[in-house]
Every structure is written in C-alpha cells, then in structure tokens.
Structure 1
Amino acid sequence: MWRFLHLLLGFIRLYLDGVKVLIYQLFNESFTLPDLPKQNGKVAIVTGGTRGMGYEISKHLVSLGMHVVIGNEEDEGLSAVKKIQEEFSESKVEFMYLDLASLMSVQQFVQRYKAKGLPLHVLINNAGIMLVSERRTEDGFELHFGLNYLGHFLLTNLLLDVLKKSGKPGKCSRIVIMSSATHYGGRLSLEDLQGRKCYSAHGAYAQSKLALLLFSYHLQDRLWAKGDPVMVNAVDPGMVDTALYDNLCGPAQMAKRPFAKLLFRTPAEGASTAIYAAAASELEGIGRLYLYNGRKTESSAISYDEQLQARLWKESCALVGLHKA
C-alpha cells in the first residue's frame, strides 16, 4: 500500500506541475529572442542536437556564426548536419557520436573532442529522456538518472578544463543546463538514487531534473570560488511539443493530443531561452540563474540546499569515477 501511495503522489505532483505550466502558457506569450550578437570564432557543443529543441538550438547558434558540434547517439546526426548546412551554406557544424547513457562513450567523446584542438565557449546539456519504463544503463544506473543527469555531470566535468581555457574575464565560457518545471515535484534520496526501493517513471524523471539544478548551482559556486571564467545557468523550456511526450501513458497521451498545438510551445519556442542563455550580451558574467520564458525565476526551495548540493556532488563523483571532493 505504501508503495502504491508513493507512486500515486509522484504521479499527481508531476501532472499538477504540468497543469500549472499549461495555464501559464495559455495566458502568456512565448519568449521572443532579442537580436543576439554574432558569435564568430566561438565553438559550442549541443547534446541531443539532432531533433526537437536541440536541433533548433544548434541551428540558431550556427546562424550566429558559431562552430557547433552536435553530440548524439542517433545515426540521424549526419542528416541534421546536412539540413543545417543546406540552410546556412557557410556554416560550421559537425556530428560526433555520444551516448550519455554510457560513461565510456562520454569519456571517448571528450577524448575525440580534445584531439581536435578546438576551444569550447558554450556547452549546452540538452539531451534527455522522459517517462520511460524502468531500465538501466550499461553502467547499472537508473536510465533517467544515468542519462539525463550523470552523463551530463561527467561530460561537463571532463570538459571543464577546455571551457576554463576558452573563457576570460568579460568573455566567459557558458554552460547551459536544461532542467524542467517537473523539478518542483522532484524528491532526491541519496540513499536510493537509482529508484531500486520504489521505482516511478514520473519520480525518476523529476529527480533527474532536480539533480541537474543542484549540480548547476554547486558547479557555479565552485567556479566562482576559484575565479574561473565560466558561467553556469539552468533553463526551463516549458511544455514543448516534442518526442519526449511519446512515453505518456495511454489516457494522458490521448488528452495531450488535442491541446498540444494550442497550449504547448513549438521546439523553436522552447529552445529560445537556452539560446538566450548561450549568447545574450546582458548575461555576460552572470551565473547561477534558473531561467524560464527568458526571465530569472525562483526554482524549488530544496534546489538551493547547499548541503544537499555538496552531498550530491560528492556522490556523483564516486558514481562516475571522478576523484574530486
């Protein structure tokens, strides 16, 4: 009975958060990107950049003059690159294989990237999965936690040295982390991060998005403490009509369809805040923000718990094999 109630409460929390977002989107226009400065000479990595919001982010950064590397595990990466190149004839965009559900793949991706000798000015941690049935990564992690959070945690840490070298005062490198309003209903148990005691797809997804926020804030604090020229901000894209919702349960999927075109943001609209965080001049030197619809927003109270941030960081380092306190 306790397990059933736990799952039911997680389900209710997630969908109530969704209803709140939809009501907001019904009465508020989507954020419109301002004119952004050209980014010629800068290099960005976008995870999950082959479709949906990731594709829109990649395409827009290319249009600003960035050299964009799309990190994705799908074969459609080459197709996405071709489409962008056809639209922007002098674009610099390439695909590199990256499976965030595999720690070895993340390590290999970073090794290949560093071998290119490229700088790195922008890292956008966009890739993610939502509401999949209980599965494990090849390293034994619960899939939402392993792919959405731990894969990006390791990727970011392994690329930090390049980001630090590429930034400088007045022209900081930027890390943009894709979170979600579902983090408000998220619960994080350091004793059961893999959901082995009581698995819920809804709870696992919300936990992964809360973990990303805790990581974002703590990473920025560490960078500031050392004076490193790297800014970290988290963004909430809102409810966006992408393939992420393909895993909704039957009734929810049927209820979603008639409202998606009316209430959901398009992938381009959902991508706008992440693009803003990556390139807006007014955000130069500003970090530790949670941005929603182009504005600074308060995240959940628990996301600001510095003790929990530090404990999650330490546990995450142990899980991915990083020797950092």
Structure 2
Amino acid sequence: MMWLLSFILPIIRLYWVGVQVLLYQLFNKSFALPVLPKQNGRVAIVTGGARGMGFETARHLASLGMHVVIAGNVEEEGRAAVKSIHEEGHQGKAEFLFLDLASLKSIRQFVQRFKDRGLPLHVLVNNAGIMLVPERKTEDGFELHFGLNYLGHFLLTNLLLDSLKRSGRQKACSRIVTMSSATHYAGRLNMEDLQGRSCYCAHGAYAQSKLALVLFTYHLQEKLTAGGDHVTANAVDPGMVDTDLYQNLCSPAQAAKRPVAKMLFRTPAEGASTAIYAATASELEGVGGCYLYNGGKTQSADITYDGEKQAELWKRSCSLVGLQQA
C-alpha cells in the first residue's frame, strides 16, 4: 500500500499543479518582452539551444548582438539552429558545441573546449531538460531526470563560474539563468534517496529535479554575494509550453493534451520570454536569487528558502559529481 501511495501521490501533485498553471494561462496574457538593451560583445551559452525554448532564447540573444554558443547533444540539430540564426541576419553570432549533460565526462570536455577558445562568458542559460522518461540512468549511474536536469547543470555551472566571475563587472554583472518549472511545487526532496531507487516514479523524479534547481540557484546566489562576485543567479518558470518535452506522456494524456495545448499552452517563444528577460533586462542588473514567472518575481515553494536544505543538497551534489566543496 505504501509503495502504491509513493507512486500515485507524485502524479496527483504534478497534475494538480498543471491544472493551476493552465487556469492562470487561461486568464492571463503571456509576458511580452520590452525593448531590451543591445548585448554587443557579450557571450552566452544556452544549453538545449537547438530547439524549443532554447532555440528561441538563442536566436533572441543573437538578435541583440550576442555571440551565442548553442550547447546540445544532437549535432545535426545544432548545426541547423546555427544556420537558421545566421540566415536571419542578426548582428550577433551563433555556433554549436557538443554537450551531453547526461555525461560528467562530456560536461568537462565541453567546458575545456569552451575555455580553450579564450572567450569571456557573460550569460549562462541552463535550459536543457527531459521530462517523464521511463526509468533510465545516465552514463555515470544517476537517475536520468536528476542526473541530466539537475546534476549536469550543477557541474556545468560550477566549472564555468571562474569564466563568469572574470567577465562580470560592477553594473554589468554576468548572469546565470536556470530553467525550473511550476512542477517544482509538487517536488519532494528525499536526501536519502535522490536517485529514486526505493520507488521510481517519473513524475516525482521530474518534479524533484526542478525543485533541486531552485534550491541550487538560491544557494549559488548566496555564495556569489558572500564572495563579492559580479554574477547573479536566477531561476525561471516558463509556464506550460508546447514543446517536445511532452512526448513521453501516455497515449490518453497525449490525446487530451493536443487540443488543450492549442488553446492554453504558451508557444516556445512565449515560454522563452522570461529567460531572455532575466539574461538581458536592465531592470534585473545586479538582481539575483529570484524565482521569475511571466516576467515578474514570485514566491517559489517554501522548502526552497530552507538554507540548511540548500547547503545539504549542495554538499551532496559536490560529492556526486566529484567537486571539492568551496
């Protein structure tokens, strides 16, 4: 009975959050980007930047004059995204670098390749993710949602922090923008079983990974502030967006989703708007440690403000990915 509850409750919590988001989107317009300042000379990395919200983020940053590095694990998609951005004739530049967030080795290789270029780094958009996949493990043996969505971005961000710190200036901070989700409200963080091995539920695993990203963002900002670094870190909730993330829904849910998506889901461009805003807006200069939804600051789940939980997750994450705790 307990096993059944452990499996069913995360599903109920996740879909209840989804219903609330859809009701909000029914009665509220999507955030419309204001005129944003030019970003000439600034460099950004966007994970999962070849399609969906990642692509919309990358192309908009390039349109503002940024040099955008699209990081992804499908080379053909990445090359096509770069070509598309260049064909639009933006002032900025786009290029593709291979990155598999489900491999700690690939993440370290990506960071080394990027650093070998000698480029500064002003914006890191942690956008890539997977949702509701059947139980699988990463190359390093982590549960896939936790390993790719969270641990991969945790390691990537930490390995790029020195570049971000060097590139940030007073009144021109470097920015870390991490894509979370309203599903984090349904998440439960089991420090003794972060890999979901006692009872795997894809819904619970996904929600936990998005919850972990918010805790990580807040603790990271605390460390950056304590160090006097000119870097800010914010978490972003894109709302419910019509992307390929939903491809792992069961057949009945897929059938129900199609008409609902047409009416109530945001487009990828709309879903990307708050991330773009967080990466570039003058109003957010020097502002970090926020949870941003539909273009504004809002409250995340109560647990995300628990400093002890933030610190414990950070410590365990460092151990899992082989980082010395700073």
TM range (shorter): over 0.9
Query: Are 2:275 and 1:274 equivalent residues in the alignment?
Result: yes
Q: Is the 8 A contact 1:84 1:91 kept in 2?
A: no
C-alpha separation between the residues in 1 aligned to 2:248 and 2:240? 14
- CA offsets per residue over residues 52-89 of structure 1, 9 Å max, x none? 00000000000000000000001210011001100125
Q: Which residue of 2 aligns with 1:165?
A: 166
TM-score (norm. length: structure 2): 0.99
Counterpart CA distance in 1 for 2:95 and 2:65 is 14
The residue type equivalent to 1:257 in the other structure is: R
**Kept after mapping to 2: 8 A contact 1:144/1:205:** yes
Unaligned runs of 5+ in 2: none
Q: Does 1:228 align with 2:237?
A: no
Deviations 1:67-122 (A, max 9, x none): 00000001210011001100125531100000000000000000000000000000
Report the Cα offset of residue 158 of structure 1: 0.2
| 1:94 match: secondary structure | strand
Whole-angstrom CA distance in 1 between matches of 2:35 and 2:54: 20
Corresponding residue for residue 71 of structure 1: 71
1:313 is aligned to 314
User: What amino acid maps onto 1:193 in structure 2?
Assistant: L
Give the drift of 1:301: 0.2
Residues 41 and 66 in structure 2, CA contact (< 8 A), matched pair in contact too: yes
State whether residues 144 and 204 of structure 1, in contact with CA within 8 Å, keep that contact through their aligned partners in structure 2: yes
Tell me which residue corresponds to 2:287: 286
- Whole-Å Cα distance in 2 between the matches of residues 135 and 273 of structure 1? 31
Task: Provide the residue aligned with 1:215 in structure 2.
Answer: 216
1:49 aligns with 2:49: yes
Partner secondary structure for residue 169 of structure 1:
coil
Residue 63 of structure 2 aligns with an amino acid whose one-letter code is S
Is the Cα–Cα contact under 8 Å of residues 64 and 91 in structure 2 kept in the other structure? no
Listed as ranges, the matches of 1:136-215 within 5 Å are 136-215=137-216
Look up the match of 1:33. 33
Aligned-residue CA RMSD (Å):
0.7
Letter in 1 for 2:289: R
CA contact (8 A) 2:180 2:210 kept: yes
CA contact (8 A) 2:64 2:92 kept: no
SS at match of 1:12: helix
Amino acid at match of 2:72: N
CA distance in structure 2 between the partners assigned to 1:158 and 1:119 by the alignment = 14
Do the aligned residues in 1 keep the contact of 2:180 with 2:236 (CA within 8 Å)? yes
3-state SS of the aligned residue for 2:156?
A: helix
Equivalent AA in structure 2 for residue 226 of structure 1? G
Structure 2 contact 65–90 (Cα < 8 Å) conserved: no
Write out the 4+ residue segments of structure 1 that deviate beyond 3 Å after TM superposition. none
- Give % identity: 72
Aligned letter for 1:300? A
Distance 1:91 1:125 in 2: 20
SS of residue in 2 equivalent to 1:93: strand
Read off the aligned partner of 1:117 and give its amino acid letter.
Answer: G
Shift of 1:156: 0.2
Q: Does 1:109 align with 2:110?
A: yes
Match of 1:251 in 2: 252
8 Å contact from structure 1 (residues 121, 167) kept in 2: yes
- Secondary structure of 2:25's counterpart equals helix
TM-score normalised by L of structure 1: 0.99
Local SS of the residue matching 2:177: strand
Could you tell me which runs of 5 or more consecutive residues in structure 1 were left unpaired when the two chains were aligned. Answer: none
Change (3 A) 1:221 1:204: same
